[in-house]
């Protein structure tokens, strides 16, 4: 496997993790959104990844975002009869977004991003060293 393949794989992972971090940030930003444009409370977004392309031996080379699914978890119901969004029984439906879970997911995505960035930097350094040896 050449350096260009290694950098390509790591770059695809960087893009995928960047998209994952963006979705997590959207989930956190909308954790209190009880009235979304779709009607009802915000629904958490979940990234689904798939292999980007298939190599010569049938191996996957990289990763890409295949789709963004919405979480089907039922909304939390909070008793707040003073809210304009309360139903007849005084319950307000809030998003089923757990900020603690989202932060843990953000930390994992961030570490994966950092690891792939390190791979790109190491591959670039190796290419530069190889060029220096050929001079």
Residue 58 pLDDT: 61
Question: Degrees (nearest 5) of the Cα angle 108, 111, 115?
Answer: 140
Residue 37 pLDDT: 80
Residue 56 pLDDT: 65
Q: Which domain holds residue 7?
A: 3-134
- Tell me if the pTM is above 0.85: no
Task: State how far Cα 125 lies from the chain centre.
Answer: 28
Which portions of the chain are predicted below pLDDT 70?
Answer: 1, 54-60
Residue 91 pLDDT: 92
Q: How many domains does the chain have?
A: 1
Residue 59 pLDDT: 63
Residue 101 pLDDT: 95
Instruction: Report how far residue 58's alpha carbon sits from residue 41's, in angstroms, rounded to the nearest whole number.
Output: 43
Nearest residue to 98 (alpha-carbon basis) of 42, 18, 38, 35: 42
């Amino acid at each position: 496997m050449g350096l260009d393949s290694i950098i390509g794989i790591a770059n695809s992972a960087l893009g995928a993790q960047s998209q994952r971090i963006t979705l997590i940030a959207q989930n956190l930003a909308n954790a209190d959104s009880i009235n979304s444009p779709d009607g009802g409370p915000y629904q958490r977004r979940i990234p689904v990844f798939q292999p980007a392309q298939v190599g010569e031996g049938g191996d996957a080379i990289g990763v890409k975002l295949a789709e963004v699914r919405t979480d089907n978890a039922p909304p939390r119901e909070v008793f707040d009869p003073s809210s304009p969004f309360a139903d007849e029984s005084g319950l307000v439906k809030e998003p089923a977004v757990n900020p603690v879970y989202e932060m843990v997911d953000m930390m994992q995505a961030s570490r994966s991003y950092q690891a792939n960035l390190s791979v790109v930097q190491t591959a670039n350094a190796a290419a530069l060293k190889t060029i220096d040896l050929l001079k």
